[in-house]
Chains A and B, each alone.
Chain A
């Protein structure tokens, strides 16, 4: 039902590192991916379609496109989705995406997301935590990111981690402290700074912060639909205290 149809629409490099930006907490992944695509002038390379997606076509400069696409530049590929992926198809979409990443010969996929914290309004610089899977050397300590030790992850990035674990595909998930239900460009900027250490590219986040308020205004409706998807997936479990005696 949720099988991902992958159509190459441009130049797709082999052995590229892949950044994943799917709507979730604070839309951190989507904002980060969008900033990368714009600031690196990346070109569209792949269109993803699935019967599990609602019948949506997005128009950019008059051209109809699938809401989920991949862009490329050099040895970097960025996957972005302009719609929240609904619960029934999450696992299947994640599994197909991970399988495609493996077929491309990608040495690493990096998921960028938010780690919702209730007191986000009191945090000036969000801290970034990381989860790594199927990675031998300690990438996280090299880039100065603390490993998330005890937590519960719910939603698209949990599905990605699960699919990577089963497929033996290397994945690094970077989670910046964020709002849950409000778009959070500040958290996206911190996630991107952490990712830049792995990509070996300097990512200028100043333009992102300069238009942070405009981004927050313009992503209201996507945040609303993502909130519904997060509620259906049981995102509130991320606020739960970890079980101590297991």
Chain B
């Protein structure tokens, strides 16, 4: 049976609202966590007709063994360990040395994807993940 178009619109609106809230939160939030010694990596998300491509800049990560990527239909989580801690000296208002050892970022995806068909590549410190879009086909009756 064809999906109710109003339900579809409602679901999409809820998703958009959620994303707006996330963007507002991201704007002012720090990109680091001192207690967990993690940094948020720079990342890009590109939406294409058949896939969503996510890249992340992960300098100081040498080996793909140090990477952990988890994916759901709606989000992607990247965790990576640096080969050595990166120090910030006399740093910001805390005026002390801060060492960071890992990257962590949960990235909301702009479209539903099929996590089982995702592919990842790591080159020159840049992680590229290709996520095929999930296609839900509905038969439409012609009256």
A213 and B60 contacting across the interface, CB-CB below 8 Å? yes
Q: Tell me, in angstroms, the Cα distance from A221 to B18 when the chains sit together.
A: 24
- Whether B124 is near chain A, meaning CB under 8 Å from some CB there, is yes
Number of chain A residues close to chain B: CB under 8 A? 16
Instruction: Tell me the complex Cα distance, A181–B44, Å.
Output: 8
- Most A CB within 10 A of own CB, among B39, B40, B59, B123: B59
Q: Does A146 contact B (CB under 8 A)?
A: no
Contact, CB under 8 Å: A216 / B57: yes
- Say if the beta carbon of A232 comes within 8 Å of chain B: no
A residues near B41, Cβ cutoff 8 Å: 220
Contacts of A223 in B (CB 8 A): 42
Question: Which residues does A use to contact B, with CB under 8 Å?
Answer: 121-122, 179, 181-183, 212-214, 216-218, 220-221, 223-224
Q: Which of B100-136 contact A (CB under 8 A)?
A: 100, 123-126, 128
> A220 touching B39 by the CB < 8 A rule?
yes
For the A-B complex, the count of residue pairs with Cβ-Cβ distances under 8 Å equals 39
Given the contacts A182-B57, A213-B59, A217-B59, A121 and B123 also touching, CB distance less than 8 Å: yes
Q: Does B88 contact A (CB under 8 A)?
A: yes
Q: Point out the residue from B31, B44, B59 that lies within 8 Å of A221, measured CB to CB.
A: B31
Q: Which of A179, A217, A221 contacts B86 (CB 8 A)?
A: A217
- Shortest CB-to-CB span from A214 to chain B, Å, is 6
Chain B interface size band reads: 10 to 19
Instruction: A223 to B42: give the CA distance in the assembly, Å.
Output: 8
Q: Given A220-B31, A221-B31, A224-B31, does the pair A213, B125 have CB atoms closer than 8 Å? A: yes
Residues of B within 8 A of A182 (CB): 42, 57, 126
A-B contact pairs, 13 of them (CB 8 A): A121-B126, A122-B123, A179-B57, A181-B42, A213-B60, A213-B125, A216-B57, A216-B125, A217-B60, A220-B40, A220-B41, A221-B31, A223-B42
CB-defined contacts of B125 to chain A, threshold 8 Å: 213, 216
Residues in A whose Cβ lies below 8 Å from that of B60:
213-214, 217
In the complex, A193→B66 CA distance in Å? 34
Whether B124 lies near A220 (C-beta < 8 A) is no
Question: How long is the Cα–Cα vector from A183 to B88 in the complex, in angstroms?
Answer: 17
Query: Which residues of chain B have C-beta atoms less than 8 A from A213's C-beta?
Result: 59-60, 125
Q: A183-B57, A217-B39 are in contact. List 10 more A-B contacts (CB 8 A).
A: A181-B44, A213-B60, A214-B59, A214-B60, A214-B86, A216-B57, A217-B59, A220-B39, A220-B40, A223-B42
A217: chain B residues within 8 A (beta carbon): 39, 59-60, 86, 100
